[in-house]
Amino acid sequence: MSTERTFIAIKPDGVQRGLIGEIIKRFEQKGFKLVAMKLIHASADHLRQHYADLKEKPFFSGLIKYMSSGPVVAMVWEGLGAVKTGRVMLGETNPADSKPGTIRGDYCIQIDRNIIHGSDSVDSAKEEISLWFTPEELVSYTSCAESWIY
């Protein structure tokens, strides 16, 4: 495993339902390092870019409407295997297939209201991070997990 960065976003339903703290808590307590974060009401154009891979899917227009319906919390988390482990923490795309203990398994029931996004590969994470954040917004500092006392 190597140190990676992943793009995680709490979707408008997660924000509206008051799940911001709970979701951040899971990534923080897991031991990942928060590198960037902002609350942003993204435009439909921005979201069409974010989900460009899915533009031929029948659910695409509904997805853009959903994602632009309110603010999202956009974040970058860093750590060993952050992309893959982040996806495990999210659960499956369809909450009905997500195990209890995962974010989607614990907090939602509908595939089209599944409260959280996470990058699915290191390459897509790089693209997503550069779409949502400027290089200056990625903050450089040392977290305790990078300088063990014992």
Catalytic residues: 117
Alpha carbons 37 and 21: distance in angstroms, whole number: 13
Answer for the pair 145, 79: CB distance below 8 angstroms, yes or no: yes
Helix (H) or strand (E) holding 35: strand 33-40
Within 10 Å of residue 77's Cβ, how many Cβ atoms? Answer: 27
Binding to ligand UDP (CB under 6 A): which residues in 44-83? Answer: 54, 59, 63
Range in contact with ligand UDP (rule: CB under 6 A) among 20-28, 39-47, 106-114, 140-148: 106-114
Cα distance between the two ends of the chain: 22
Output the smallest distance, CB 122 to ligand UDP, in A. 14
**From the list Mg ion, ligand UDP, none, partner contacted by residue 111 (C-beta under 5 to 8 A by kind):** ligand UDP
Q: Give the footprint of ligand UDP on this chain (CB under 6 A).
A: 54, 59, 63, 93, 111-112, 114, 117, 120
